[in-house]
A = this chain, B = another copy of it.
Amino acid sequence: MKRIAVLTSGGDAPGMNAAVRAVVRKGLYEGMEVYGINYGYAGLVAGDIRKLTRRDVGDKISRGGTFLYSARYPEFASEEGQLKGIEQLEKFGIEGLVVIGGDGSYRGGLALTKHGFPTIGLPGTIDNDIPGTDFCIGFDTAINTVLDSVDKIRDTATSHVRTFIVEVMGRNAGDIALWTGVAGGAEQIIIPEKEFNMAEVADTIQKGRERGKKHSIIILAEGVMSGNDFAKELAEFGDHHARVTVLGHVQRGGSPTARDRVLASIFGAKAVDLLKEGKGGLGLGMIGNKIAENNFEEILNNQKHLPDLSLYKLNQEISY
């Protein structure tokens, strides 16, 4: 394969730039030409495509966001959208593609592979909810971003009784909440994967207060409800002086951590290796510290992502 392209799709994830850099540098190392597609599949269809050089990725490894921008492009689910994309690939002479993003980007990748354009998918989302991998690009950075905020809240030294509710991202996954809850020593973690009872939440806070603990921290995954709604419901069980922190899009930005850059680099280089062998239709993953190559179909149809729920039990035991 002589000419490949790369795009980023879906929500921002720190490390996307490092992944694109690895694809470009490894591609050049293997004697290929590497093209960059702006704005994900929207840009593919529009032909917003250009050749990338070493210089283009020269100062990107430490940068959050993605210099290829990103977009969600639902039209690419349709045959019509896919054919337009293929038209552009043919026009630019591109033979293979690397897509970096959420599993939404894998659907398009599957379609392109079936049409003769081998596509490799790299899991990039702070939600860490793509099947077939223990960790996604962007997750390690996001949990450290949230943790930094939890640490600052823990500095609170006033005598006022307070319940700090930290609403974190995750779509329908509780990964960010679980990891930051354990790492931050939060008293309670509320995630979509676990039933919870507001009366018990209030009771746990109260018990802590009786033990002399003035401040409680609850990490709340957005997939359950918003922080403000949680605070309102909690108030029905007494005045817990709830203060809500909503980091929002802060969680999707920032310079990627060491692990996210290394993960992104390993994935990016591996994608080029696979395309070089003519392989496609695979979503990469890191399972047990070994690279896994998962079929797009498996990822999209069968596999479900589950966070590490042992962390939930662990936190109940050591942070009550």
Known: A228-B228, A289-B289, A318-B21. Contact between A155 and B64, CB under 8 A?
Answer: yes
Complex Cα spacing A248 to B21, Å = 27
Q: Is the CB of A258 within 8 A of B317?
A: no
Flag the segment in A66-74, A80-88, A113-121, A299-307 that touches B. A66-74
Given contacts A151-B62, A261-B183, contact A158 B26 (CB under 8 A): no
Q: Complex Cα distance A157/B14, Å?
A: 11
Name which residue of chain B comes closest to A73, CB basis.
B159
Find out whether the CB atom of A265 lies under 8 angstroms from the CB atom of B182. yes
**In contact, A319 and B159 (Cβ under 8 angstroms):** no
Closest Cβ of chain B to A204, distance in Å, is: 14
Query: Does A269 make an interface contact (CB < 8 A)?
Result: yes
Interface contact A156-B12, CB-CB below 8 Å: yes
Are A155 and B259 closer than 8 Å at their CB atoms? no
Is the pair A253, B140 in contact by a Cβ cutoff of 8 Å?
Answer: no
Residues of B close to A65: CB separation below 8 A: 155-157
Establish whether residues B153 and A253, one from each chain, have CB atoms under 8 Å apart when the complex forms: yes
B153, B159, B259: which contacts A71 (Cβ < 8 A)?
B159
How distant is A125 from chain B, measured CB to nearest CB, in Å? 12
Q: In the complex, which residues of chain B have a beta carbon less than 8 angstroms from the beta carbon of A72?
A: 158, 160
Please give, as numbers and ranges, the residues of chain B lying within 8 Å of A289 by CB-CB distance: 134, 287-289
* Alpha-carbon separation in the docked complex, A242 to B107 (Å): 29
What 5 pairs across the A-B complex have the smallest Cβ distances?
A: A288-B288, A152-B253, A155-B253, A64-B155, A25-B318
Given contacts A72-B158, A149-B250, A156-B253, 18 further A-B contacts (CB under 8 A): A25-B319, A40-B159, A42-B159, A62-B151, A71-B160, A140-B259, A144-B257, A147-B261, A149-B247, A152-B250, A152-B253, A154-B253, A182-B261, A183-B261, A243-B248, A245-B246, A245-B248, A265-B318
Instruction: List residues of chain A with CB under 8 Å of any chain B CB.
Output: 8, 11-12, 14, 21-22, 25-26, 29, 39-40, 42, 59, 61-67, 69-72, 134, 140, 143-145, 147-149, 151-160, 162, 164, 179-180, 182-185, 228, 243-255, 257-259, 261-262, 265-266, 268-269, 287-290, 310-311, 314, 317-320
